[in-house]
Amino acid sequence: MRSDPFKHRSRLEDGRIINTENAEIWIHDTGGAGEPVFLLGGFTAGHFVFDLIRPFMQDYRLITWEPRGLGLSRANAGIDSEFNADVWATDAAEVLDVLGIDRAKLWATGFGSYIAFALAAKYPEKVSALATYTDVWAGDETKVYERIWAVYSAIVDNFGTEGFGARVLANVFDVSGLPWFGDWEARNIEQVLRPETVNDTVGYCCTRADVRCHLPNITSPVLIVQGGLSWDGEAVEDTSDPALSLLRETISELDVVTIAGAHPAYVLVQQPEACATAVRAFFERII
């Protein structure tokens, strides 16, 4: 896996476009009789991040997507497209409806967590369990997203999201120990990001997203999966993490798995098997 991160890559042509009420959404669905797990990726690696865990989750029906504004997904013709966590959560609920899935388990990473929290709160009947990250509001001072966006947006404005621009963006996040990361992430960026919507997708998540109001309405069990390092490379201190403290205060069933020595958000890229093992154990406890 580590020597060839593209081995299990889900090609865009292996997925399909489905029509919801307001959008055309690209999905990839492994199908089969396994329990459905809806995988909500971040907004740079997109759904491709979950390719790394496919070998460890083969008995599940794995569904990935790109939210409207990313990849091949977009609003239907004639629809004034909105971009926010609530809109994406409704799109996700409608994807499950189109697929005939009444209830699923969710696994979200990075900015996909905004959508997952909103989906679990707004459509509790559709979510039996949620594994996710601590992205709850863009202004979380421990994540410095506003400063990251200043750099990120300048790169897109000057170099775009293909070729050199993609390679520079791939190195905005410091993910160590993976010699292939830059090439892998650059390829993801070229297929996920669209320059014309990047402010309304990545920019929204870095500067405007806030799903704190939804947290008290989440009734499903939640697992937080994170790396053991903070964004500045120091060891994570749970007691000084405002997002984690808020999640513990507002969600009745909350567990945390911290994987030592890994990036806080890109832990799945660095330690896919460890993440899959933790999430499987959590899912298997939930009927």
- CATH number of domain containing 18: 3.40.50.1820
Residue 61 in domain: yes
58: alpha, beta or left? (left if phi > 0; alpha if psi -120 to 50) = alpha
Average pLDDT, integer, range 186-211: 96
The single-letter DSSP state of residue 210 is B
Mean pLDDT within 266-281: 95
Output DSSP code: residue 42: -
In a domain, 266, yes or no: yes
Whether the predicted pLDDT of 245 surpasses 90: yes
Total count of domains within the chain: 1
Indicate whether 100 belongs to any domain.
Answer: yes
Does residue 174 lie in a domain region? no
pLDDT digits over 17-65, tens only?
999 988 999 999 999 899 999 999 999 999 999 999 999 999 999 999 9
Does some domain include residue 5? no
Q: Residue 100 above 70 pLDDT? A: yes
Domain-located, residue 19: yes
Give yes or no for residue 234 having a pLDDT over 90. Answer: no
Give residue for tokens 């390829």. 187
Taken as a whole, the chain contains a residue count of 287
Asked if residue 193 belongs to a domain, the reply is: no
What are the phi and psi torsion angles at 74 (to 5°)?
Answer: -155, 165
Other CB atoms within a 10 A radius of the CB of residue 162 amount to 14
CB 74 within 8 A of CB 83: no
Residue 78 located in a structural domain: yes
pLDDT at 232 over 70: no
The answer on pLDDT for 266 being more than 60 is yes
pLDDT score for 1: 42
Q: Which two tokens stand for residue 276?
A: 């899959």
Domain holding 43, by residue range, is 12-136+212-284
pLDDT for position 138: 97
